[in-house]
Amino acid sequence: MMYLSLISGFVILLFCGDLLVRGAVSLALKLGIPSMLIGLTVVAFGTSAPELVVSIRAALTGASGIAIGNVVGSNIANVLLVLGIPALIYPTLCDQVSVRRNTLFMVTATLIFIFLCLFGQLVFWQGMILFTLVLLFLGYVASHAVGSANGAGAAAIEEEFELPDEESGLPQSTIMIALFLLAGVFGLPLGAHFIVDGGTEIARAFGVSDSAIGLSLIAFGTSLPELATTVIAALRRQADIAIGNVLGSNLFNILGVMGITAMVAPIDVPPAFLLFDLWVMLIAALLVVPFAMAKGTITRSAGAFFLIGYVAYIYFLFVADRAAMMHGA
């Protein structure tokens, strides 16, 4: 039953998250809101909705390990899996205009987040700092895009946040838009409920912590949309979109998801995170730096290295977690 709860939660979460984004984009277009503003608000925050509702639900129910593990594990998976697997299919070129800048932003955000975690608990004021930083980032991207000449601004925003087009299923009628929005608003919390409850039960059944489940199963599940998108793109020899997806997703996970969650409910930082997982997340972020700075290519051998690194991380995660649980018992 716990596996059914987890799987059904992921299905509901991913499906309803997609409906929410499409409904909101369609409504914004009907209201005449510029596509640049839609990309910076609706798409940017909407695509992080699954991670957000899972973390908030976990924080409110006292499962801090899942609340923070979901984000830390997703950021690790985004680099090592979402960049690694597509590169095995087709090498990923990192020469887009915003890659250097966003890589530096991601590493900086990761360092700030680790520093705040050293306090042992993320509370309202720390959440406010993180959320303010994501707003500043969006403001910077918007001002940079508006300042670009010859229509390059709109192209810059499209590079940052990919808007769904009409052919990909944007609802057209007012009734359908309302149904999409309602499905997203009510479906996301329901999916989060199943995921957190299922994940907690699995942790108890296998004698591991909820942190380990958050860092692995739940993090992998919430990274599935990015993974699916980049694998399909790699099969079409368009793997270049992977790097943009990963940088944007990681930034919003740290600053947006953790920022809002910490403002809603305090999040205890498990000691194991301070010793191991946060530093793995930082190392994963730093792995992107040489490719971004040199406008290089993530080759098949680099992709294999990333993938092996992820498997090794998951292995050591569970070995260390079981040892800690047995020692605690």
**11-48 pLDDT tens trace:** 887 788 778 778 877 887 787 766 556 655 566 666 67
% of the chain with per-residue pLDDT over 90: 36
Nearest to 5 by CA among 145, 183, 152, 199: 199
Examine the pLDDT at 166 and tell me if it is beyond 60: no
Residue 207, C-beta contacts closer than 8 angstroms, at least 6 positions apart: 322, 325, 326
Higher pLDDT, 204 or 85: 85
In the numeric block, the tokens 């360092």 are attached to: 111
Higher pLDDT, 48 or 150: 48
Q: Identify the three-state secondary structure at position 267.
A: strand
Residue 163 has pLDDT above 70, yes or no: no
User: How does residue 164 score in pLDDT terms, banded at 50, 70 and 90?
Assistant: low
Residue 92 — φ and ψ, nearest 5°? -100, 120
- What is the CATH number for 113? 1.20.1420.30
Cβ contacts of 302 within 8 Å, gap of 6 or more: 87, 291
Q: Among 41-55, 143-157, 282-296, where is mean pLDDT lowest? A: 143-157
More confident residue, 10 or 277: 277
Give dist(CA 42, CA 38) in Å, integer: 5
Q: Show the domain range for 150.
A: 2-328
Q: What is the pLDDT of residue 34?
A: 63
Cα 127 from Cα 113, distance rounded (Å): 10
Total domains in the chain come to: 1
Spatial CA neighbour of 50 closest among 84, 21, 83: 21
pLDDT for 319:
86
- What integer is the mean pLDDT of 113-131? 96
Q: Which residue has the tokens 């976990």?
A: 58
| pLDDT value at residue 36 | 55
